[in-house]
Amino acid sequence: MKVLLLSTLTLLFTINSQAQNTNVKSEVKTTTKTIKDSKGEKKIVKTEEIKEVQKIKLEEAKANSLNIPMKADQEVDVTKKTKLAVDGVTQFVDVDRSAYYTFNGQKYQVAIDKSGYTMAIPDNQERAVLRRTSNNNYIYKNKDKLSVGYFDAEGNLVLETYDEKTDTVVLEKFIVVKP
């Protein structure tokens, strides 16, 4: 019994004294915007959490040396979480896709709202909605069109619409306007 107790205590102290094998850097940035329009005031609180994790790798130990230097040029894994609160409704967004897009010479504005995004032609009352699905796509809906959309690697919005007359899927690519 005594041997079992001593070996358990030794094991616990050994596990507790292990060296750290990762460098972790975490940063949280919060921005608050208040937007006034004809419908009233909207308060948008955006919280971004950026976490960088770097695994530590050591060089070969040198004789009669206490310190072992770290290897240079180690890769860093970066994860970013964005939380948006619009009028008290909180949602988590991987990447905020609010921006201006162009398609056929027309300029469109995609803006985040409580349930996803809205898409509008500036100075026009016509609006469409983009609602996120479970597989990272979006349902696009305006008064006469229903499509499935997604954002490609360059940040462009791609809509896929089924055309009954030709029995094909029509692709429309909205190009993001870079600032």
| pLDDT tens per residue across span 129-169 | 999 887 778 999 988 889 999 888 788 899 999 999 999 99
pLDDT of residue 64: 80
Q: Are residues 110 and 67 located together in one domain of the fold?
A: no
Would residue 48 count as lying in a domain? yes
When pLDDT is averaged across residues 5-20 and rounded to a whole number, the result is 63
- Distance of alpha carbon 69 from alpha carbon 62, whole angstroms: 10
H or E stretch covering 4: helix 2-16
Examine the domain organization and report whether 130 and 143 are in the same domain: yes
Band (pLDDT 50/70/90 cuts) for residue 50 is confident
Q: Does residue 65 sit within a domain?
A: yes
**Do residue 78 and residue 126 come from a single domain?**
no
Which of 48, 64, 92 terminates a domain? The answer is 92
The whole domain housing 69 covers 20-92
**CB 85: neighbour CB atoms within 10 A?**
15
| Residue from 80, 79, 93 nearest 44 by CA | 93
Let me know whether 65 and 78 are in one domain.
yes
Place of tokens 């530590």: 56
Q: What is the mean pLDDT of the chain?
A: 81
Looking at per-residue pLDDT, the higher value among 125 and 117 belongs to: 117
Residue 124: pLDDT band with limits 50, 70, 90: confident
